[in-house]
Structure 1
Amino acid sequence: MTSKRVLICGSIAFDTIMVFEGKFKDQILPDQVHILNVAFLVPSLRKDWGGCAGNIAYSLKMLGGNPVPMAAVGHDSTGYQERLNKLGIDTSCLRVVADEYTAQAFITTDLDDNQITAFHPGAMSHSHLNTVEQAGDVALGIIAPDGRDGMIQHAEQFAQAGIPFIFDPGQGLPMFGKPELTRFLELATFAAVNDYEAKMLCERTGLSLEDIAAKLEALVVTRGAEGSWVYHQGQRHTIPCVKAEQIADPTGCGDAYRGGLLYGLTEGMGVVEAAKLASLMGSLKIACKGPQNYHFTRDEIASRFESAFGHKPW
Structure 2
Amino acid sequence: MSALICGSIAYDNIMVFQSRFQDQILPDQIHVLNVSFLVPALRREFGGCAANIAYNLGLLGETGYPMATVGHDFAPYREWLGARGVPLDFVRELRDSWTAVAYITTDLADNQITAFHPGAMQHAHINAVPAHAGIRWGMVSPDGRQGMIDHAEQFAAAGIPFIFDPGQGLPMFGAAELTRFIELADVVAVNDYEGKMLSQRTGLDDEQIAARVQAYIVTRGAEGSTIMAGGRRHDIPAAAPEAVVDPTGCGDAYRAGLLFGLLRGADWETTGRIAALMGALKVESAGTQNHHFAREAFDERFSASFGYEHGLSG
TM-score if structure 2 supplies the norm length? Answer: 0.92
Q: What is the rounded CA distance, in whole Å, between the counterparts of 1:174 and 1:32 in structure 2?
A: 20
1:122 paired residue number: 119
How far the C-alpha of 1:141 sits from its partner, in A, is: 0.4
Distance 1:280 1:27, change over 3 A: closer
Specify which of 267, 276, 280 is matched with residue 264 of structure 2.
267
- SS of the counterpart of 1:231? strand
What displacement does 1:24 show?
A: 6.9
Separation in 1, partners of 2:130, 2:30: 53
Is 2:258 the counterpart of 1:258? no
Q: Which residue does 1:57 correspond to in 2?
A: 54
Q: In 2 relative to 1, CA 246–177 (structure 1 residues): closer, same or farther, beyond 3 Å?
A: same
Structure 1 gaps of 5+ residues are: none
> After the TM superposition, which segments of 4 or more aligned residues of structure 1 sit over 4 Å from their partners?
20-36, 38-41, 109-116
Instruction: Look up the match of 2:200.
Output: 203
AA partner of residue 67 (structure 2): M
**Which residue in the other structure is 2:104 paired with?**
107
Q: What residue in structure 2 maps to residue 157 of structure 1? A: 154
Assess if the C-alpha contact under 8 Å between 1:58 and 1:292 holds in 2: yes
Question: Counterparts of 1:165 and 1:209 in 2: how far apart (Å)?
Answer: 19
What residue in structure 2 maps to residue 66 of structure 1?
A: 63
Q: Which runs of 5+ in 2 are unaligned?
A: none
Q: Give the Cα separation in 2 of the matches to 1:25 and 1:190.
A: 35
1:232 is aligned to 229
Please say if residues 60 and 66 of structure 1, whose CA atoms lie closer than 8 Å, have aligned partners that are also in contact: yes
1:136 maps to 2:148: no
Structure 1 position 117, deviation (Å)? 3.0
Match of 2:95 among 94, 98, 119: 98
What is the aligned-residue identity percentage? Answer: 56
CA RMSD of aligned residues (A): 2.3
Return the alpha-carbon distance in structure 2 between the equivalents of residues 86 and 135 of structure 1: 27
Q: Which moved more, 1:267-276 or 1:161-170?
A: 267-276
Of 161-170 and 286-295, the range deviating more from structure 2? 286-295
Q: How big is the shift at 1:258?
A: 0.3
**Aligned-pair CA distance for 1:156:** 0.3
Instruction: Give the aligned length.
Output: 310
Match for residue 174 of structure 1?
A: 171
Counterpart CA distance in 1 for 2:213 and 2:25 is 46
Q: Secondary structure at the match of 1:257?
A: helix
